[in-house]
Amino acid sequence: MRFLKKLVPFVIIAGAALLLLYLPDIGPERYTDLGSFFKTERKRQAYVGYTVAVVQDGSILYVDAFGNDGAGKPLSIDSPLLLGSVSKTFTGLVTLSLQRDKLVSIDAPVRQYLPWFGFQPVPGIGSGLDVSLRHLLSQTSGVSDRDFDDVHASAPDLESAVRSMQAARPTFPAGAKAQYIDSGYQAVALALEGATKLDYADLVSSRILRPLGMDRSSASPAAVADVLTPGSGSFFGMAIPRKPAVPAFGAPSGYMVSTASDMAKYLAYLAGPEKVPRTPVPARYIRTLYEPLVESSPYTYGWRVSGEGADLEASHSGSLEGYSASITLWPGKRAGIVILAPQNDLLQSWLVAPVLVNGAKRIMFEGSSDRPFPTGRLYILLAVAAVVHLLALLLQTGGALNWSRDVRCRVEAAGTNGPLHFARARNWSGIAIRLAIAAFVPLVIGAIFGRRVTWPMAFALEPSLASWLLAAVFFGVMRNVARLAWLRAPR
Summarised one tens digit per residue, pLDDT across range 183-210 is 999 999 999 999 999 999 999 999 999 9
| Other CB atoms within 10 Å distance of the CB of residue 176 | 16
pLDDT in tens, 432-443: 999 998 888 888
Average pLDDT over residues 374-378: 85
Look at residue 17 and tell me if it is in a domain. Answer: no
pLDDT of 491 strictly over 70: no
Look at residue 13 and tell me if it is in a domain. Answer: no
- What pLDDT is attached to residue 367? 94
User: Do residues 432 and 363 share a domain?
Assistant: no
**What CA–CA distances, in Å, run from 2 to 7, 26, 414, 483?**
9, 41, 20, 18
CB-based burial label for 21 (10 Å; 0-12, 13-18, 19+): exposed
Average pLDDT over residues 168-182: 92
- Please give the Cα distance from 350 to 353 (Å, whole number): 6
Could you list the residue range(s) of the whole structural domain that residue 464 is in?
399-488
Look at residue 5 and tell me if it is in a domain. Answer: no
- What pLDDT is attached to residue 57? 93
Look at residue 484 and tell me if it is in a domain. Answer: yes
CATH number at residue 267: 3.40.710.10
pLDDT of 132 strictly over 60: yes
- What pLDDT is attached to residue 374? 87
- Percent of the chain whose pLDDT exceeds 90: 59
Q: Coil, strand, or helix at residue 64? A: strand
- What pLDDT is attached to residue 419? 83
pLDDT of 173 strictly over 90: yes
pLDDT in tens, 448-488: 766 777 888 778 778 888 889 999 999 999 999 998 888 87
Which domain-ending residue is among 331, 355, 372? Answer: 372
- Please give the Cα distance from 409 to 44 (Å, whole number): 53
Q: Phi, psi at residue 135, to the nearest 5°?
A: -70, -40
Q: How confident is the model at residue 2 (pLDDT cuts 50, 70, 90)?
A: low
Number of domains in the chain: 2
pLDDT in tens, 56-71: 999 999 999 999 999 9
Average pLDDT over residues 224-228: 79
pLDDT in tens, 242-283: 888 889 999 999 999 999 999 999 999 999 998 888 888 888
Look at residue 443 and tell me if it is in a domain. Answer: yes
**b/e map of 89-115 (b: 16 or more CB within 10 Å)?**
bbbbbbbbbbbeeeebebeebbbebbe
- What pLDDT is attached to residue 402? 85
Its pTM stands at 0.89
Best CA proximity match to 423, nearest among 475, 472, 478, 485: 485
- What pLDDT is attached to residue 473? 92
Average pLDDT over residues 36-46: 93
- What pLDDT is attached to residue 292? 92
pLDDT of 4 strictly over 60: no
- Please give the Cα distance from 479 to 456 (Å, whole number): 25
Q: How confident is the model at residue 113 (pLDDT cuts 50, 70, 90)?
A: very high
pLDDT of 395 strictly over 80: yes
CA 289 from centre of chain: 22
User: Do residues 157 and 246 share a domain?
Assistant: yes
User: Do residues 251 and 292 share a domain?
Assistant: yes
pLDDT of 240 strictly over 60: yes
- What pLDDT is attached to residue 351? 83
- What pLDDT is attached to residue 450? 66
Provide the 8-state DSSP code for 122: B
Look at residue 380 and tell me if it is in a domain. Answer: no
User: Do residues 330 and 453 share a domain?
Assistant: no
Look at residue 19 and tell me if it is in a domain. Answer: no
User: Do residues 213 and 95 share a domain?
Assistant: yes
User: Do residues 417 and 363 share a domain?
Assistant: no
CB 295 within 8 Å of CB 305: no
User: Do residues 216 and 178 share a domain?
Assistant: yes
Look at residue 21 and tell me if it is in a domain. Answer: no
CB 232 within 8 Å of CB 323: no
User: Do residues 145 and 259 share a domain?
Assistant: yes
- What pLDDT is attached to residue 423? 87
User: Do residues 343 and 411 share a domain?
Assistant: no
Q: How confident is the model at residue 140 (pLDDT cuts 50, 70, 90)?
A: very high
- Please give the Cα distance from 340 to 319 (Å, whole number): 10
CA atoms within 13 A on the CB side of 87: 35
**b/e map of 217-246 (b: 16 or more CB within 10 Å)?**
bbbbbebbeeebbbbbbbebbebeebebeb
Mean residue pLDDT of the chain comes to 89
pLDDT of 3 strictly over 60: no
Lowest mean pLDDT among 124-133, 166-175, 481-490: 481-490
User: Do residues 357 and 465 share a domain?
Assistant: no
User: Do residues 138 and 267 share a domain?
Assistant: yes
| Other CB atoms within 10 Å distance of the CB of residue 331 | 20
Beta strand 313-320 pairing with 323-330: antiparallel
- What pLDDT is attached to residue 403? 84
User: Do residues 130 and 274 share a domain?
Assistant: yes
